[in-house]
Amino acid sequence: MYISSTHDEKQPYKPGLDRFSLYKNIWQRHWQGFRAVYRERFAQQYGPMTGPTIWEVRKLISCGSYRNGFRRHTCPDCGTVLIVPFTCKSRLCLSCYRKKIFGWSIHLSYIMNPELLHFHVTFTLPGGVRQRLFERGFKPEMMIKEAANVYWKNLRKSAGNNGKEWSAGIVATIHTCGNGLNYNPHVHLIGTMDLVNTETGEVNTVPFVQFMRIRFAWMDAVCRLFRKLEMFSEDEITAIKERYANGFHVHFKPIIGTESEVLFRTAEYLAAGYFHNSQILAVDHAKKTVTFRYKSWLDVRTKEKSYKTVTMDIYEFMAKMLFFLPKKHQKMIRYYGIYAHGAGEKLKKIQNATWKAAVEHCFNIDPEKCPDCGAEMHPSVVYGYNAEQVWYRMRREYCLYKGYFRPMKRGP
């Protein structure tokens, strides 16, 4: 929703009060029943349900409620009012998560240098290895640093520059599952094709990257990690290397386009999230099933995507969503090399990205201008302690139409 495509045609903007989410409705209707059966049906496979997890669900269920407070935008000319409820900021809420991603993506130029050439690199694990890691409780976020080191070191070897003053710019994240909600930890990395001398600023273009060598380097790096964490025994690691004689698959894709297209594609690759509202096709509350579509295959040559549809038990769906939920305070996106320099200060600027900027970017409309007369609307804040009182007064005095409150016309 908030990372929009580069296509010129934009969807019309609908204020939050005029939208319905199948995903949120699942949690609102089935949370109590799901929680009652979780320990018996899912705790052994997905782990216990913790207090922070329960809090994330409660925030999601109340997301968008006027009772939590809201921003009120009032037209000084015709009296039309737009209500924007405070977001829940839950990591489980797909809508709020997308807004957070947009705030990151729209100001990505603070961190990245789009004038440099970049690769999008996906570091994957074989299916047999993934299954055993799932059974043994592996923490996949530890793979991010390994992938960044593999990329940086091999880029330096390809360029013939082994000095530590030569650095690449890297932004990387871990996705713990595919959008079919299957356990599939893999690292998405955006890295410069060029090396930059951090002392002189000189740029050295790498003429050729040895892709096959990176496959073996990636396999060796994660096997060392598995050995260190005692995920696999020495005999199991030997067997893995013998079975996958060509290394673990690493997919390279150059990011080509204008500066804005490079930034857009970077955000699209790194911050897409593991599930989207638009994937849900149907929910049967009586049978307790949810039907959704997911991308099952992508032909890297033709770029043709194949999709599958699956119908899943609704409690199983909820259990998987909680299992893949990022842990509290877990930093999902990491910065390395030249992109790590001053990242903290740059991220503070990114966090200032607003709801208004998101709507303008995605829908080509200023949401703070009156849709009826075009006047600039005046904002005010209504906090939770008196939000309900203000809300009921507005429902008596205004007519809610297409997400906006219009003043009721009174007779003479």
Question: Is 126 domain-assigned?
Answer: yes
Domain housing 178:
112-274+324-336
Q: Are residues 92 and 180 in the same domain?
A: no
Question: Is 157 domain-assigned?
Answer: yes
Q: Are residues 200 and 255 in the same domain?
A: yes
Grouping H, G, I as helix, E, B as strand and the rest as coil, residue 189 is strand
Q: Are residues 127 and 101 in the same domain?
A: no
Q: What's the confidence (pLDDT) of residue 225? A: 96
Q: Which among 308, 336, 364 is the end of a domain?
A: 336
Gap between the Cα atoms of 163 and 145, Å rounded: 20
- DSSP designation for 170: E
Query: What sign for the dihedral angle of Cα 322, 327, 328, 332?
Result: negative
Domain count of the chain? 2
Q: What's the confidence (pLDDT) of residue 134? A: 92
Q: Are residues 27 and 120 in the same domain?
A: no
The residue among 183, 196, 71, 75 whose CA lies nearest residue 131 is 183
Q: Are residues 247 and 389 in the same domain?
A: no
CB 342 within 8 A of CB 175: no
Q: Are residues 4 and 71 in the same domain?
A: yes
Q: Specify the amino acid at residue 75.
A: C
Q: Which among 309, 336, 363 is the end of a domain?
A: 336
pTM of the model: 0.82
Question: Is 303 domain-assigned?
Answer: no
Enumerate the H helices of 333-383 as residue ranges.
343-350, 355-363
Q: Are residues 142 and 84 in the same domain?
A: no
Question: Is 409 domain-assigned?
Answer: yes
Ramachandran angles phi, psi of 275, nearest 5°:
-155, 155
Q: Are residues 45 and 87 in the same domain?
A: yes
Q: Are residues 230 and 121 in the same domain?
A: yes
Grouping H, G, I as helix, E, B as strand and the rest as coil, residue 369 is strand
Q: Are residues 133 and 167 in the same domain?
A: yes
Say how many C-beta atoms besides its own lie within 10 A of residue 298's C-beta: 12
The DSSP annotation for 170-230 comes to EEEEEEEE-TT--EEEEEEEEEESEEEETTT--EEE-S---HHHHHHHHHHHHHHHHHHTT
Q: What is the pLDDT of residues 130-182, one digit of tens each?
A: 999 999 999 999 999 999 999 999 988 888 766 778 889 999 999 999 888 99
Gap between the Cα atoms of 333 and 3, Å rounded: 16
Q: Are residues 169 and 45 in the same domain?
A: no
- Tens digit of pLDDT per residue, the chain (412 long)? 333 444 445 566 667 665 678 999 999 999 999 999 999 999 999 999 999 999 999 999 988 777 888 888 999 999 999 888 887 888 888 877 777 766 676 667 778 888 888 999 999 999 999 999 999 999 999 999 999 999 999 988 888 766 778 889 999 999 999 888 999 999 999 999 888 888 888 888 887 788 889 999 999 999 999 999 999 999 999 999 999 999 999 999 888 888 777 777 777 777 667 788 889 999 999 999 999 999 877 666 666 778 899 999 999 999 999 999 888 777 778 899 888 876 566 655 555 445 666 677 666 778 888 988 989 999 888 887 788 888 888 888 898 888 889 988 654 5
Please, which residues have CB within 8 angstroms of residue 351's CB and are 6 or more apart in sequence? 103
Q: Which among 284, 311, 336 is the end of a domain?
A: 336
Question: Is 279 domain-assigned?
Answer: no
Q: Are residues 14 and 95 in the same domain?
A: yes
Q: What is the pLDDT of residues 263-276, one digit of tens each?
A: 777 777 776 677 88
Question: Is 216 domain-assigned?
Answer: yes
